Amino acid sequence: MARNTKRTSKSVAKTASKTLRSPTASKREKSLAGSALAQSNTNKQTSARMETKASKAVFGKGASKTSRKLGGSVLSQSNKAR
């Protein structure tokens, strides 16, 4: 199976860190932030479950700018063979 070697950028990692520390961030945002940070300096890939969650954040109605940014990063690091 092909591996995706993309990693979270510094700007997205910074946004993810702020999101995790924010008391007003939604559960979805915190979940995406955790996934993005977990992939920042490792070869980890997005799981199928997180792909679904990120897809809903990026393409769903009413998603915040932060959700879309984090979701886009998480989706870009998914396994392309899936």
For 8-60, the pLDDT digits (tens) are: 889 999 999 999 999 999 999 999 999 999 888 887 888 889 999 999 999 98
Report the pLDDT value the prediction gives residue 9, as an integer from 0 to 100.
87
CA distance 31 to 52: 12
- What is the pLDDT confidence band of residue 4, given thresholds at 50, 70 and 90? low
| Residue 4 is assigned to a structural domain of this protein | no
Instruction: Measure the CA–CA gap between 24 and 36, rounded to whole angstroms.
Output: 19
Task: Please state, in angstroms and rounded to a whole number, the distance separating the CA atoms of residues 63 and 45.
Answer: 23
For the chain, the maximum distance between any two Cα atoms, rounded to a whole number of angstroms, is 39
Look up the domain containing 23 and give its range. Answer: 10-76
Nearest C-alpha neighbor of 34 from the set 20, 24, 15: 20
What's the rounded Cα separation, in Å, for the pair 34 and 57? 14
What pTM did the predictor assign?
0.84
Domain count, the chain: 1
Give the pLDDT confidence score for residue 6 in this predicted structure.
Answer: 79
- Tell whether the model's pLDDT for residue 1 goes beyond 60: no
